[in-house]
Amino acid sequence: MSRMGDVLAGLHAAWEFESDSVLIRFERGIRTPKLFQALGERRIPLEAIAGVTLTPGKRGTVVLRAEPRPGADPLMEAADGQLKEACDPYRLVLPAERETLAEYYADELRGQLTQQGPAERFLVDAPEVPRAFKAYDAKASFDGRAVSFRWFWTGASSAKWKAGDQTFPVADLSGVEWRSPEVFEGHLRLLRRTDSSVTPVDQDPASVVFGLGYGPVHESLPFAAAVLAAVRRSSGGSAVVGVNSGRRDPADVAERIRHLGELHEAGLVTDEEFSVKKAELLAEL
């Protein structure tokens, strides 16, 4: 391995190589992705890394990337492949003239990797608690023991308002479902051990809805990761990362297609987005 304390600085981040880990320190500059600024720094144990790649980047750059093992990092598990490339915390973008140096560090890292396949437990620390963010219909908060939703009368549906503010102890949860606010129908849904029903997120008291300016990635994703890690600790190592599943009520699908059409007519959804999302909704029937 390279000498302990060696640092490779790139765009928005610097990697410090330790004997058993890589310490990633993110910049706090105005151009740095907000998710990186929110994370601050992360220590990635070598046992959490499955591989290392070095590929050409855009506009005269190269990209060094550590590939996390499935199940090793609660942040990446919660993200479930939805992060944009520029917000991937495992990428380090470097000027092309530093390719030789980057290849040296890539080779050094590869020589130290001994673990493959899914990790049995989280190896990377989850974001610290307490955490909170504002969704469109509620303020969500997490203190490490329970998740609370406090509804906004201006955004919450009548079903949520009628149900009242909600508190969910970690012990009652089986996992979490995070859908990026940068796509249509972004939301955070808590998966409960005693309820496997599929309810539309705007009607589900265990869900909060994102929207323009609400539930941004740099706030809601670390929140979801912290909850997921706490659930796994509470359940002795197992937790579910939610995936939208099950068949919806046809009336609900029709209502959502109508709403999607209104967004399309208003110019808030492109022709392509409208076609893709409409097909997804019809497939759920």
* Confidence tier at 278 by pLDDT (50, 70, 90): confident
pLDDT, residue 246, reads 44
Q: Which long-range contacts (CB under 8 A, 24 or more apart) does 249-255 make?
A: 250/285, 252/200, 253/281, 253/282, 253/284, 253/285
Question: What's the whole-number mean pLDDT along residues 55-69?
Answer: 96
Evaluated on CA atoms 139, 181, 91, 11, the torsion sign reads negative
**pLDDT tens digits, one per residue of 227-269:** 999 999 998 766 666 544 445 556 666 766 776 776 677 676 6
- Cis omega before residue 222 (within 30°)? no
Check residue 269 and give its pLDDT. 65
What is the predicted pLDDT for the residue at 255? Answer: 64
pLDDT above 80: residue 223? yes
On the question of pLDDT at 4 being above 60, the answer is: no
Q: How many CB atoms lie within 10 A of CB 161?
A: 15
278 or 219: which carries more pLDDT confidence?
219
Residue 245's pLDDT is what? 42
What CA–CA distance (Å, rounded) separates 73 from 183? 23
pLDDT in tens, 171-196: 999 999 999 999 888 999 999 998 87
Query: In this predicted model, what pLDDT tens digit does every residue of 43-61 receive, in sequence order?
Result: 999 999 999 999 999 999 9
pLDDT above 90 as % of the chain: 72
pLDDT of res. 268: 61
Residue 63 has which token pair?
């990209």
Cα 119 to Cα 121: distance, rounded to the nearest angstrom: 5
